[in-house]
């Protein structure tokens, strides 16, 4: 297995995550470390606002002061919502989720087994599976972070000199601080993107490691022809 040569990802991690984080294998946080962190949560500590019609299911649920869960959202514990987190109508959080201060999960977005660092946003029609979003990340509407291979095999990440085994059957993306994706981008299982990189709308980003401070562009060739049934 080649050594990981990962780009800069996170400038600062909250203390509770920093003690569990391995920078050589950032995806490992989604396994036992996240499970341990969530298991340490109190059974129920709800200080934020729950709108009528919000559904809260299961155990180990923390909703911090200033956070709001809107009507029509569904949350299955264990889950941690930091201060000023917003969970909008139609959002679905499950499988163990940790949302840092000021994070946002938008309308009709599903989040499964994921970590959002402070200010990360999945605001419109997103799927975020088994992923880590750095501080200030914003997913364009319709962005999908796919987390499972069709053949069910463990996720391996192509790197120079071979493939990097993650030991995970489900792994979406690890996005560094302030990564932005355009609308309808699809990131394949096992994508690592360095901080401050921008991804164009409609990009299908294959498994791999992408550097920091870049623009990932998509160019389309359009053909515009006259309609045969158009009036003269």
Chain segment 173-203, per-residue pLDDT in tens? 999 999 999 999 999 999 999 999 999 999 9
Per the residue annotation, which of 124, 149, 163, 214 is the catalytic one? 124
Q: What is the torsion angle, in degrees rounded to the nearest 10, for the CA atoms of residue 215, residue 155, residue 168 and residue 73?
A: 50
Q: How far apart are CA 212 and CA 200, in angstroms?
A: 15
- The two beta strands, 162-165 and 156-159, are antiparallel
Q: How far apart are CA 38 and CA 194, in angstroms?
A: 26
Structure tokens at 191: 């994508």
Q: For residue 99, what pLDDT band results from cuts at 50, 70 and 90?
A: very high
How do residues 68-91 score in pLDDT, each as one tens digit? 999 999 999 999 999 999 999 999
Per the annotation, the verdict on 70 as an active-site residue is no
Structural domain boundaries in the chain = 15-216
Predicted pLDDT at 1? 44
Predicted pLDDT at 160? 85
Q: How far is CA 145 from the centre of its chain?
A: 7
Tell me the DSSP string of 23-73.
TTSGGGGGTHHHHHHHHTS-SEEE-SEE-TT-EEESS-EEE-TT-EE-TT-
Output the CATH code of domain 15-216.
2.160.10.10
User: Mapping DSSP to helix (H, G, I), strand (E, B) and coil, where does residue 134 land?
Assistant: coil
- Cα 224 to Cα 21, 50, 229: the distances in Å are 51, 50, 15
């Amino acid at each position: 297995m080649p050594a990981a040569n990962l780009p800069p990802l996170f400038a600062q991690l909250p203390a509770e995550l920093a003690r569990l984080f391995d920078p050589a294998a950032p995806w490992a946080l989604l396994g036992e470390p996240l499970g341990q962190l969530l298991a340490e949560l109190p059974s129920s500590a709800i200080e934020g606002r729950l709108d009528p019609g919000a559904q809260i299911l299961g155990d180990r649920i923390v909703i911090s002061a200033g956070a709001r869960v809107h009507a029509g959202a569904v949350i299955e514990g264990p889950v941690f919502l930091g201060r000023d987190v917003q969970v909008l109508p139609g959002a679905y959080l499950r499988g163990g989720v940790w949302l840092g201060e000021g994070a946002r999960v938008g309308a009709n977005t599903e989040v499964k087994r994921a970590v959002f660092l402070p200010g990360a946003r999945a605001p419109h029609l997103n799927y975020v599976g088994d992923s880590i979003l750095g501080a200030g990340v914003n997913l364009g509407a319709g962005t999908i972070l796919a987390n499972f291979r069709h053949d069910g095999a463990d996720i391996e990440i192509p790197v120079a000199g071979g493939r990097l085994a993650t030991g995970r059957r489900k792994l979406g993306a690890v996005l560094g601080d302030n990564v932005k994706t355009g609308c309808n981008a699809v990131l394949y299982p096992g994508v690592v993107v360095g901080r401050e990189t921008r991804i164009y709308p409609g990009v299908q980003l294959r498994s791999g490691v992408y550097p920091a401070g870049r623009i990932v562009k998509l160019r389309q060739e359009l053909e515009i022809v006259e309609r045969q049934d158009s009036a003269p």
